[in-house]
Amino acid sequence: MKGLPSILFLSSLHFLVFNICTAVDTVSPSQFITGLVSSGGRFELGLFPAGNCKAWYLGIWYKNFSNIVVWVANRENPVSGSNGTFTLTQNGSLVLLDQMNNTIWSSSSSTIVEDPVAQLLETGNLVVRDKASTGSESYVWQSFEFPSDVLLAGMKLGWDFRTGLNRFLTSWKNASDPSLGEYTYRIVNLSLPQLVLAKGSEIKFRSGPWNGLRFTGFTVLNNEILTRSYVYDTNELYYSYETKDPSLITRLQLTEWGEMQRLVLKEGSTEWTELYNLVNDRCDSYGECGANGICKISISPICDCLNGFVPKSQQEWEVLNWTSGCIRKTPLCQKEDEFLRIQNVKLPDLLNFRINKTQAIQECKADCLKNCSCVAFAMSEGCLMWFGDLIDMREFIDAISEQYIYIRMPASELGDSSQKKKRVMLIAVISATCVLLFLGLSCWCIIRKKKQRKRGSRSKKENKELPLFDFQTIAAGTSNFSRKNILGEGGFGPVYKANLGQEQVVAVKRLSKDSGQGIDEFKNEVTMIANLQHRNLVKLLGCCIEGEERMLIYEYMPNKSLDSFIFDQNRKKFLNWKKRVDIIVGTARGLLYLHQDSRLRIIHRDLKSSNILLDNELNPKISDFGIARIFGLDQTEGKTKRVIGTYGYMSPEYAIDGNFSVKSDVFGFGVFLLEIVSGRRNRGFHHPDHHHSLLGHAWLLWHKEKSLELLDPCLEDSYVEFEVLRCIQVGLLCVQKLPSDRPVMSSVVFMLSNEGATLPQPKEPGFFTERNSMDGDTLISKGRSITGDVITITTLEAR
């Protein structure tokens, strides 16, 4: 935010006035004005002084914040003194003249308009149009096409190919000099565009390429208040945004010191709040770890070499100087090369690359292997291959990134032959297990009818077999596993929508061949879910085992997962309060079945909104049992050195010590419950008054007796106050720090289903500590390494 001298605006601006008129939003030809004010009073246009007040500039600023200038016309050519004039010519050009009637600045429109008018819009856009025309397409000229250092809602950042115009931001030289500064923010690389913040020719930050939803290199996204759009066609290539909430005013500003700030003003407030800064941590700085290095903000030191690489200068790395980067331990193309998949990463910069938008993953892999210079590939808008060093990679600990890259490595770097044999043996064992499981289930499929003497009725007991599906049938149903049929993708591999004919649509979960933990997940999920039957659990229809192929076939959920509703500003409106209560209670009953009522006691370990699927009637079904654990009937707790799950849903005892039980699932359910009530994610939650997570925010509101402020605003017309408060209280009881304080699921179902039940007062939730700007939601402790959503804990046992 720029602070200009207090003399910036006097009671009347120093215009040389020929025809004086009151401040309005329009100006006609040959009319000289004291200034323009937009119709709603948000923006104002006029002359303002800078520096020693000898240099004057024509600009636009917020009327209620006159020191925040959002656009400057004559940045490189100020008016000497305050005696400048501003007018509109008969042919539709805006002109700024000095006291000698010399043209200081002109809009220089090439289009001649018969009846022009200039207008300052409520968006902050200064436009020239024909009086008889309406709409943005009829503008002869507009200030939005020539940004200064601020991007307002509705402005475009990028190219107009029809005119050759490139719209980008340029910082001020300093706080009192609006002339062109050193920093720019623009779209580069027309073949695979990305946003770049640079100081001259030196890149400071890049966004990564657009993936259809967002730029993949951003670590800070505020999906709550903005709708972002990206257009790339024969006419234009640009990025823009709009504000979802009309009561909020926001701007994106490039400061004179090279910071890109998102600032927000709430209606009625007098202070702007910084929502985020583009460079959020050191890993956002361009090339922080040098060539072939990867930045991991969750570890210390933050830089590491990619697998198969070592520091080029070990001495420099030991003193935390990573600029020299890393080099390969073993050259490529000596014998056989393979690929190591790394997930949740920012893709390397596009320095030497090639993209083929029609190739599938296997074709991409084969093409890369044919060229010894190809060092990596990824699927992003097609087949993307890199040649040479890999620059500016970082790891994301946020599960929403879901970006993979395949790093080429000599086969010797991926493990010796004995390890490969073990993997083959493991696959064979799993294949045999699945076949035996199928045979066993087939034998159990015997329908018996028993006559009941007292009522004469009949009951049926069915143990349905688990069918084996033919690979060719599934391949045909997925259009040969086309990417257009992918429903989602996790550590196990992709999930496809398949049409098997006769109106049978299913979901196919396919084990990725290079998924290290996928084989275990497959075995675990088959042996577990085949024995489960509940209306709130997703139904396993069968499996496919042919050659190296391992697939699970599930009932298809047309409405996908719950998170695609409650965190989407448009779709969340379809879930009114009653439906959300039904989803909460249904999920609770499904989890109770797993913990208590099924033949096996099962700990899910990854209960979250994205693992709750919705059927045609939006009924909830718990899915994804890949990392679930079976407990004995007399077992209450387990322990693991490999904590697998999703940050934001893990209980403290599980995330920190690896201890899991039914109470760790209860914690995840509590997080899920508070998310569905609020429509906000626990992970990545931000509040201007504190740095707590959603759980901490709910706890603070509870103590202030303001819990209703947690409610999703779109539920204001459908909620029942008593039910909302009860759900929030149950959620807080579930996320209490100590497992012994949390209720079991039978108590949770009872509390949710009985209005007369007396509920205890909740205690402090887990992870009730304020985050700082450096660690965000990061969980770091001694003896722990973090990769994606997997934590490996090293423990020392007492002797």
In percent, the amount of the chain with pLDDT more than 70 equals: 79
Low-confidence winner among 106-115, 128-137, 191-200, 644-653 (lowest mean pLDDT): 128-137
**Interval 439-471: pLDDT, tens:** 666 665 544 444 333 333 332 333 344 678 888
Beta-carbon-side half-sphere exposure of residue 411 (alpha carbons within 13 Å): 11
Locus of tokens 């000599």: 410
In percent, the amount of the chain with pLDDT more than 90 equals: 39
Q: What is the second-level CATH architecture of the domain 1-144? A: Orthogonal Prism (2.90)
Indicate the pLDDT class of residue 525, thresholds 50, 70 and 90.
low
* 635-638: Cβ within 8 A, 24+ apart: 635/601, 636/661, 636/662, 637/661, 638/603
Domain boundaries, the chain: 1-144, 283-414, 463-555, 563-792
Residue 731: which of 674, 687, 780 has the closest Cα? 674
Does pLDDT of 99 surpass 90?
no
Does pLDDT of 482 surpass 70?
yes
Mean pLDDT of 3-26: 43
Does pLDDT of 679 surpass 60?
yes
d(CA 190, CA 187): 8
Indicate the pLDDT class of residue 138, thresholds 50, 70 and 90.
confident
Indicate the pLDDT class of residue 429, thresholds 50, 70 and 90.
low
d(CA 672, CA 608): 6
Question: Which pLDDT score is estimated for 778?
Answer: 40
Question: Which pLDDT score is estimated for 523?
Answer: 64
Residue range 463-555, CATH number? 3.30.200.20
CB 9 within 8 A of CB 48: yes
Mark whether 514 is an active-site residue. Answer: no
Does pLDDT of 172 surpass 90?
yes
Question: Which pLDDT score is estimated for 470?
Answer: 87
Beta-carbon-side half-sphere exposure of residue 488 (alpha carbons within 13 Å): 21
Alpha carbon distances (Å) from 119 to 30, 42, 83, 94, 111: 14, 14, 22, 11, 17
3-class DSSP assignment, residue 669: helix
Mean pLDDT of 180-196: 91
- Max mean pLDDT among 136-145, 405-414, 772-781 falls in 405-414
Question: Which pLDDT score is estimated for 9?
Answer: 35
Residue among 337, 563, 606, 665 flagged as catalytic? 606
Residue 379: which of 351, 357, 348, 401 has the closest Cα? 357
Residue 114: which of 127, 96, 126, 132 has the closest Cα? 132
Question: Which pLDDT score is estimated for 136?
Answer: 54
**Interval 568-602: pLDDT, tens:** 888 888 899 999 999 999 999 999 888 887 766 78
Indicate the pLDDT class of residue 298, thresholds 50, 70 and 90.
confident
Angle at 84 between CA 82 and CA 85, to 5 degrees: 145
d(CA 723, CA 620): 19
The model carries a pTM of 0.53
The sign of the dihedral angle between the CA atoms of 628, 632, 637, 643 is: negative
d(CA 286, CA 197): 9
**Interval 74-88: pLDDT, tens:** 999 999 877 788 889
Residue 631's DSSP bridge partners are 601
Write out the two tokens for 240.
Answer: 């823009």
Residue 34: which of 22, 48, 50, 49 has the closest Cα? 22
Does pLDDT of 481 surpass 60?
yes
d(CA 178, CA 157): 20
Give the CA diameter of the chain. 112
Question: Which pLDDT score is estimated for 400?
Answer: 46
Residue 402's DSSP bridge partners are none
Question: Which pLDDT score is estimated for 443?
Answer: 62
- Taking the C-alpha atoms of 196, 198, 203 and 209 in order, what is their torsion angle to the nearest 10 degrees? 0
Locus of tokens 């790339």: 232
The CATH number corresponding to 563-792 among 1.10.3720.10, 1.10.510.10, 1.10.8.60, 1.20.58.2050 equals 1.10.510.10
* Higher-scoring residue by pLDDT: 256, 417: 256
Question: Which pLDDT score is estimated for 680?
Answer: 92
Question: Which pLDDT score is estimated for 45?
Answer: 95
Mean pLDDT of 720-733: 94
- Max mean pLDDT among 79-83, 101-105, 322-326, 622-626 falls in 322-326
Q: What is the pLDDT of the chain when averaged over all its residues?
A: 81
Write out the two tokens for 203.
Answer: 């890149």
The sign of the dihedral angle between the CA atoms of 760, 761, 764, 770 is: positive
